[in-house]
Structure formats: structure tokens, C-alpha cells
Amino acid sequence: MSQHHHARRCAATVATVSALAVILAGCSTPSSPADEQASPPGVTETTVTIGTHTPLTGPAAAGYSSISAAAKAYFDYLNDKGGINGRTIEYIVKDDGYNPATTQSVVRELVQEDGVFAILNGLGTPTHTAVIDYLNENEVPDLFVASGSTTWNEPEKYPYTFGFNADYVVEGAALAQYASDEHPGSTVCVLGQDDGFGDEIIEGAEIAVGADGLTDVQRYAVSNQDVTAQIGAMQAAGCQINILATLPGFTALAIGTAAKLGWSPMWFTSSVGADYSTLLQFFGDDAGPSLLQGMVGSNYLPMGDTEWVALFAQVNEDYNAGAPFDGNTVYGMSVAYLFAEALAAAGENPTRASLMQAVTSGELEGNGILPLAFGEDSHAAYLGAGITVVDQGVQDYVGETYALEGDKVVAVEPQPGALTGDGIPSS
């Protein structure tokens, strides 16, 4: 279970697949252990096929549409090096527009028509919530969800699902604790998405500053591209530090709206919407650097002058058609590396069962700033987050890393994963 108390949203009801669809799906239907040993879905002598749902269009596309392209670039790099145990990784990416109904359709296509071995890094809390029951009922490995919802860390209820992000309660607690440590006495407020994302950032912030420690809380909906009322209310409340549980477009919208109002509070942003290079695309090179100067963020993956960043930058140049290199690129390639590590650990003839055993073994290392927390009783990847600051156009860690121990925020020492073997995991 999650390491702390939280309120969980109920998953959307999934319609039962018709008998005709099962027949058409053929070998993509759930198999017995004996059948899977002989022919696991998505695995041939030369390939392993996996898939994802992600917003290539719609309100979350800005920034996020580059994640799956970065993951594919890493897989192309890996495949050119011989793949994993002689198999190349085929990655099917389907656009869901950040719409849960569309997510249900494309995930069924991936499982029933494309016969994928696993779903990797499905993106979004509301979208992935719509398919989590379906994937678990059909015993499809649901790996490294691109969301910090604590729902992904419920191994008894969802044994096939594993998160990737540091969860939102952790991020909210880390940001609020940093605000309290570095700016004691400042008024702290939250602008959050009106779903589990916002709920859990608020929950984490209240762990750090107390239930009455937030001066004002505002919510927004992704369907409404206007946050003037929310920003105006926060300004009127005297907010000095604003913690944002926002997608990248809404991070930019909040900061830009405040600037139009002549208001310059401090911005503390969840990793979901904190990438400097992505935000700069909204503001441009003229206004962006001054608007984003001093922005505080949370993160748990490599950044700055590290071997991992250097490797991923080279992979991006060689395999990603000259796409901009930013934090979302690092995210996508980090996920792809972790899947490759799990696949290598699953053995020369991987099955869904052996893949699950590899993830829960406690032996995966990843490349984050803290050790992975995966195990039989934990389906969370990272239980802590570091603090980043933008200074003169450079975004990097400032040294503070926080984790939750029960309902207490504690400072911990980073333990970054080492780069070995040119980023090619071995079995």
C-alpha cells in the first residue's frame, strides 16, 4: 500500500469485452501459465512488442507529446546495440488526447488487436484510471505509469500496475517543506488540477505545513483555459508562495496570468509541470527567462551535468530527429531504460510472470536520485523527491531531497543510480 494515508478516486467502470472480440483477439486473451511459457503475448524469437497511451494531441500534449518519442529513440538506440537478449523492442504509441474514453479504446486495441506484452508508461491520472481495472483483470503488466497518483501503489488491488513518478503526496510535501525551511513565515497557497493530482499535492502540502497552513487553495479544470479568477483570488489572499499542481500549459498560464496582473509571487511547481525548457516554449526566449527566474520545482531523475544526461542528449541527437532536448526527453528515456532493465532481468525467454517477478525483485536500479522502492509490497518507484531551482536559465538540484516517513517529512541523502554499460542493461 501507499506509505501514507490518502483519498483514492474510484476507477471508471470498464465495459466487458464481447465474446466476438475475444475470439478475434486470439492469443491476446489472458493465458494460463503453461500457455504463456510457450507463447507469451507480444514476444517472438526476435521482438518484444509493448505499447502506450499518451496525449499526442489535446490539453496535455504540450511537452508530454515528446515523452513517447524520447522513449522510442532510446529503444532504437538499444535495438541498434542488439536489443535485450537478442530481441528488439517494438513500441506502439497511441494518442488518447488526454481523454479517458479514448484511452479505453486505444488500450483495448493495444491488448486485443496488437497483442502487446505490456503497457508501458500510460500517461495521466484520469486517463489511466479509466483502464487500470481492465489491465489488471486481463493480467497485462501495467508498468511505470506516467503519473504520481498513489492509486498505482495498491499491490493487493492492482497487482499488475506499477508507478514511475514520485507520488504527488511526496511532491506536495517536499515542496511545502522546502517553502517552510527556506522561507519561514511566508504565506503558502496551492493551485491544483481538479482531480486526484490536485487532491494529493494538497494532501502532501498539508503534511508539511499543517491542515491550517495553506492560506488559499484554488482548483482548475483542463477544459477551461482561463485561470484569471483563481490567480486573482490567490493574489487577493496575499499568497507569497504558490505551489502548482499543474500540467505544463497551466503552469505557463498561471505564471503568465499573474504577470499580466502585475503580481510576482514565488512559484513552487510539481515535476509534472516544472520543466524549464518546456515552459520556455510557451513564453519565448525574451520573456521566459525573467518570468521563470527562481522557479522552484521537484524532481527525482537525472538533470544538470551528469553522465545520464550526456548519454540521453547524444541518443536524442542520433535517434530523435533533432527534437529539443529537455526534462521530458530525460523522463521518456529513463522510463525506456528501466523497462529494458526489467526485460533483461526477466530472462532469455521472458513471460509476463517473469517480467513481474523482475520488477518486484527489489534488484532493479533505474537512474533516479534515490533507489527504486519496488517490491512485493510496494509498487511505487520513488518515495522521495529533490528540489530544483531555475537560476539564470539553468535548472538544477539545490541539494535538498525529501521523503515521507509515515506522516513526517524528512531530509534524506540522494543516492543517484550509476550509469554502466553505455546505458544498455544486461541480464
Confidence (pTM):
0.88
Give per-residue burial for 99-108: e unless 16+ CB within 10 Å, then b: bbebbbebbb
CA dihedral 406, 410, 414, 415 (to 10 degrees): -40
CB-count burial class (<10 Å; 0-12, 13-18, 19+) for 348: exposed
Q: Which residues of the chain have pLDDT under 50?
A: 1-37
**Residues, the chain, total?**
427
Decide yes or no: CATH 3.90.180.10 for domain 19-166+305-382: no
Decide yes or no: CATH 3.40.50.2300 for domain 168-299: yes
Check for a shared fold between 19-166+305-382 and 168-299: yes
Phi then psi dihedrals of residue 57, to 5 deg: -135, 170
Distance CA 427, CA 416 (A): 21
Name residues whose C-beta falls within 8 Å of residue 197's C-beta, 6 or more positions apart in sequence.
Answer: 125, 147, 148, 149, 168, 245, 272
Distance CA 252, CA 58 (A): 16
Answer whether 249's CB lies under 8 Å from 282's CB. yes
Domain ranges of the chain: 19-166+305-382, 168-299
- Bridging pattern class, strands 266-269 and 88-95: unpaired
Determine the pLDDT at residue 186: 97
CB-count burial class (<10 Å; 0-12, 13-18, 19+) for 22: middle
Determine the pLDDT at residue 322: 80
Answer whether 287's CB lies under 8 Å from 258's CB. no
Distance CA 116, CA 114 (A): 6
Phi-psi category of 168—alpha, beta or left, where left has phi over 0 and alpha has psi -120 to 50? alpha
